[in-house]
Structure formats: structure tokens, C-alpha cells
Structure 1
């Protein structure tokens, strides 16, 4: 599998840890300032199954919100569970788009992305087009995982290399340093707020860290080995043992530190 191949997504697996995954998005939205329009136009890039996109409708109930994703599996779930009029008179809809090439075709009050841009090579090069598509006073906001140096990902990459899948996974350069994001956004004339947070999720169940990464970071490996169940199980057996050693279970569950990087950039009014 090449690095550019698209992983197959499993909405049910992704949503198994929906509560933990939604918290960073809620923390991001808490820092987004008031939007310019009374009935805002909002884009959610990489909306997945739509569960966090629905949080946008709670914050801005009159907004027309469109979630964009390139996964048919994720969009099918979003259409069924979240699409339609919102309680405040707005609308929530979902459509297929590739974030690597998506460009606003109308003015937006908010362009937001939750744990998606790490999948987009050179994503910071797209910031200019997205900010240009904002109304004056609009906001571009995103969060990305900053844990590519964590044991969960280092072990994943090491094992992928040993199993002949070296090109399948992202590396530490999948995201920029917070300082680099601040510089890029400030160069675009935005008032930028960039920060990082390490969450310590307390996971429960058998092999919970493996269960977590099966929904996200491990998807390229699972996709590459989908037609070879024996090789897939061999990889998972090796990875399971390594994760148990790296993240031992405690009396209350398995602590799983997870660093994330956040940015909120407001376009000049």
C-alpha cells in the first residue's frame, strides 16, 4: 500500500470512543469567537460520521452547516443520523469532497476541521485558500493529533516496517509544530490563537488502546491487510503485545495520554 492510498473507514469502530474523541472539538469550539452573520454558513472539513458536526448546530442553531468528507462509509452514517433541519431553524447537510482540493465556492463564516488535516499532506498550503473564502471577521479553526512520537504510533510504524508496510503510515511530520501553525496563520493576516493540550484518557475494556487506534491511526494498515486475514492477525498479535507493555492497565483502567494541537484564526473584519 502506498502512502497516498485512502484507508477504508469503519464508523462503528470510530464511534466506540466517541465521548473521548468529541472533547477536543468541544474545547476548540469554546475558543471560536462570535461569527459575522446572524445565520452563519459553516463548513466542517473531514466530518466523519457527523457526530461532532452536530455540535456546531448546538452552538450556532440558525446556521447552515455542511460536513465534507471523502469516505462513503462515514457519509452514509452522517446522512442517516444527523442530516436535516435543525431545531433553531438552520440546516445540517453532508457531501462528498476531498479536503486536499476543497476550495470554498461561497463565503463562509466558519471553516472548521477536527482531527482530519493530519491525513492531508502539506495541509498548511491550503490555509490561504480557506482563509480567502471566509467573510471578513470569519474564523478558521482546527485541531490535529500531536502524538506521532507517542509509543502507540512509534510501535505502529516499527511493526509496519517489519511486516512490509513501511509506506502505509504517516510519520511525525504529518502535522506541524504549534509555532509553525501560528506563523502560517499570522502571515495570512489572521489573529491567531494556537495551543496544545495533552489529554489523559482513562480507557476501559480489553486492549483499549488497540481498540482506539483501530478506529483511526491503524486504518491504513487494516486496509492494506484486508485481503490477507492471516497477515492481519499476525500484525495485530504483535502490536497488541507491544501496546500492553507500553500502556499497562491500572486499577481504574488504562491511562492513554494523547497530545493535540489547536488553532483558531480570525480573519480581519
Structure 2
């Protein structure tokens, strides 16, 4: 995943909807007075800053691979541009949070095992990942890549990059965690024209847009808009968009 493909303005278009899972994840973290809290894959840092409200005595630090995202980060926490796969803390963390990041890292089960070694005794690991990779929003785009756009995008990976809640319970319990894992399907009602396209343009479509030359973006997005409109027809009140997410809050 290229570090510079992220457009903060596109990604933040649905900031409220994207922020809700983060807050619901953090609500299940039982750390009382952590000293060092790290948000891995922090994006623009607005959600990272809320961790200081939850734990005002903690040093809160955010890490993201995108300079454009970090450039938007608010004051308060400290931030750095780095690949989370290479991250090593200066001291063990009391809480490690990762929000909607691990789906981009195929080897993330190994990464989770490594992060366990970066926690204090009694430390918490909490993460959330999308679980909608078989939903129409992804399936119809994969079909476009396989057919109409096969010459340019036919080799884009089409697997499911995350596990189910039970997979993470099994993984993390095996390395000493007590695990709380669950899933939630939100039904977002999105306003405007082609809102599902607007949603995935900042996330799921980024690898395709990064692959295509700029002069081909408009044609690809037009094809995506057409099939997504069929999969998610608008209603008078907006466009309902079911979105499954998987959550894990685990402690040592």
C-alpha cells in the first residue's frame, strides 16, 4: 500500500460514520490509568486526540504511513510518519489501538503477535476492521476489475483480508490474551448522488486508482458509479448502506 495514495478530504467526507466504530471500540477497553497509549494507523489524528479525553494522564501517540494524513493531525498527541509494520515503541505501551488499518496488511496475524510483545503486563490491544469484503460494494467492483477493466486491473487482489471474530479469539487467546470479540452491521443512510462511490473512493478504490493513470480515473469511476447505483438504489430519504465491522478488545 503506497503511503501517498490517501486523500484526507475524501476520507473525512463521512467522518461521523467512520468515527462511530472507533468510539464503540474504545468504550470496551478497560484500562483505567494508562501512561502510554498508541494509535497505529491514526489517519488524520482527530480520533487519536479523543484518547486524551478518555485518559487525560496518558501520553498519546499516533503513527501513520501517510504524510498527507499526519499533516492534518491536531495538537495534543504526538504523531509520526512511519509504517506500522516497522514500528517499535520506545517503551512498552499500556494500550495499543488500531482502527480500520489491519485489512491493508495481509500478514497482520503475525503483526498482532509482535504487538503483544510491545505491551505492558495487563496491557490492552484493541482493533477494528471492516468485515464487508463480500458485500456488493466490493463484489461489483471486483467484477469490473475482472471483466471490463481486466487488462489494467485484472490482477488486483480479490480475497477477504480479515478474519471473523472467532478467528481473532483463537489467535489472541493462544498468545495469552483475554479476548472480547464481536461484530456489528451498521446501516448508514448516505445523502447525495452516488454516495457509496463517495464512501469507497477514499478507501476500497484507492489501490485501483493508484494503479491507473490519472487520465483513466474518470472512466473507471463512472463504471463504478453505475454498478454501485444498481447495487444500492437511492431512496427518498437517502441511500441505505449496510456495513459490517469486526471488533476486538483484548488484554493480558
Give TM class, smaller chain.
Answer: over 0.9
Cα distance in 2 for partners of 1:241, 1:17 equals 21
RMSD: 1.4
Query: How far apart are residue 96 of structure 1 and its match?
Result: 1.3
- Kindly indicate whether the alpha-carbon contact (under 8 Å) linking 1:103 and 1:129 is maintained by their aligned counterparts in 2: no
Of residues 150, 157, 173, the one that matches 1:186 is: 173
The runs of 5 or more residues in structure 2 that have no matched partner are: none
Task: Give the drift of 1:125.
Answer: 0.7
1:214 Cα deviation after fit: 0.8
In the alignment, the residues of structure 1 paired with residue 67 and residue 91 of structure 2 have an alpha-carbon distance, to the nearest angstrom, of 24
Give me the TM-score of the superposition, normalised by structure 2: 0.94
Distance 1:43 1:111 in 2: 5
| Aligned residue pairs, count | 249
Asked whether the equivalents of residues 45 and 114 of structure 1 are also in contact (C-alpha less than 8 Å), the reply is yes
Equivalences for 1:133-152 in 2 at 5 Å?
A: 133-152=118-137
* Structure 1 residue runs without a partner (length 5+): 85-91
Deviations 1:67-99 (A, max 9, x none): 101111111111xxx123xxxxxxx01101112
Query: Which of the residues 208, 223, 233 maps onto 1:248?
Result: 233
Q: For the Cα contact (< 8 Å) 2:187–2:243, is it kept in 1?
A: yes
1:105 positional shift: 3.3
Shift of 1:19: 0.2
Residue by residue over 1:182-230, the C-alpha shift from the partner in whole angstroms, topping out at 9 and shown as x without a partner, is 10110011100010000000100110000000111111112222x332x
The aligned residue for residue 64 of structure 1 is 59
Q: Give the match's secondary structure for 2:170.
A: helix
TM-score (norm 1): 0.88
Give the 3 Å change call, closer, same or farther, for CA 62–167 of structure 1 in structure 2.
Answer: farther
